[in-house]
Amino acid sequence: MPRRSPLVIGHRGAPGYRPEHSRSSYELALQLGVDAVEPDIVFTRDGVAVVRHENEISTTTDVADHPRFADRRTTKTIDGAEHTGWFTEDFTWEELSTLRCRERLPHLRPTSATFDGEQRVLRLRDVLDIVRDGSLEHGREIGVVLEIKHATYFGSLGFDLPALIAAELADAGWADGKLPLTIEAFESTVLTQLRALGIPGRYIYLLEAAGRPFDLITSLGRDAPTYKQTVSPAGLDRLAGAIDGISVDKRMILAPDRLGRTAGSSPVVADAHARGLKVFTWTCRPENAFLIAQFRHGRDRAAFGDYESEWQIIADSGVDGVFVDHPDLGVAFFRA
């Protein structure tokens, strides 16, 4: 039977309450009832998959406080954009393991920032173990939605990402189809490569509200389709059968006008469902800073707005999964 409510996915754990990708963030998400959690992965110099929002780690770790790593601060171009800071691929795992997590948005989430400096950076393997153990502890099946970051960039450095990921999943006992695994990326090329290796799971194509995927820019140049073209009926026709679903920026569903007002959900979910594709959306957050203008209350960006009205439009669209930063709010709302 089809689910009556969407999957509630802890986006990097429970980052509304704890620094993202920290052990306590994941453990709290499991405790608060999520169906799955979403780790983002990037790689160390020695090929270890670590969970970080980006490979540039100055805003999510205490790396700047370590004098011995001062000379590794540099500027790089990642997916066409220039970034300055410290990058995971310039560290071994042994070195990264000495760093501690920090809240990425302390001005919006000061309570979470009180946990800064207490927890070390995690590997993908650590998260896979946390989820398996948590499923047993909480007496329910909990999944992992694994997001691969910057696949083309890491490939250009000589990393064989599909092989590294497949080996890690197999070693951790997540590659035989017995545990609920979803693999997602903003680049379809790495999804195709992993699927060809026979890793069982659900393969989801992440789509921004604007722009083009970097892997296709690299291979096709100006002929690369935009994300907007990809969610058109013709674009979805091309995806059907090649992947299992899409995960879209919530603005693709809300379709706000220039004043930040929505007239209801767009047809993107229905169009994808008509082609046999699942649809996830990201990210359902309650703070004014993340809501479309219609649902903000006051000028305090950290205050909660009328998030329930925004989320209701998303729920009414028939979406199959939602990423949330506050798992308790997500579970209470989307399972109501």
User: Which pLDDT tens digit goes with each residue over 41-84?
Assistant: 999 999 999 999 999 999 999 999 999 999 999 999 999 999 99
Q: What is the largest CA-CA distance in the chain?
A: 57
**Domain assignment of residue 123, given as a range:** 7-334
Q: How many CA atoms lie within 13 A of 278 on its CB side?
A: 20
How many other CB atoms are there within 10 angstroms of residue 218's CB atom? 17
How many other CB atoms are there within 10 angstroms of residue 92's CB atom? 12
Query: pTM for the whole thing?
Result: 0.96
Is 32 within a domain? yes
Mean pLDDT of all residues in the chain?
97
Q: How would you class 82 by CB atoms within 10 Å of its CB: exposed for 0-12, middle for 13-18, buried for 19 or more? A: exposed
Is 90 within a domain? yes
Give the chain's domain count. Answer: 1
Overall average pLDDT of the 24-33 stretch = 98
Cα dihedral value 12, 14, 20, 22, nearest 10:
-100
- What pLDDT is recorded for position 55? 98
Q: How confident is the model at residue 1 (pLDDT cuts 50, 70, 90)?
A: very low
Percent of the chain, pLDDT > 70? 99
Q: How far is CA 175 from CA 53, 66, 215, 304, in A?
A: 23, 37, 25, 40
- What pLDDT is recorded for position 3? 53
- What pLDDT is recorded for position 269? 98
CATH code (residue 28): 3.20.20.190
Is 253 within a domain? yes
Residue 2 sits at φ, ψ, to 5 deg, of -65, 150
Helix intervals (H) in the chain: 23-31, 93-96, 110-113, 124-138, 151-156, 161-171, 188-196, 214-220, 227-230, 233-239, 250-254, 268-273, 307-316, 327-334
Is 1 within a domain? no
Is 15 within a domain? yes
Is 2 within a domain? no
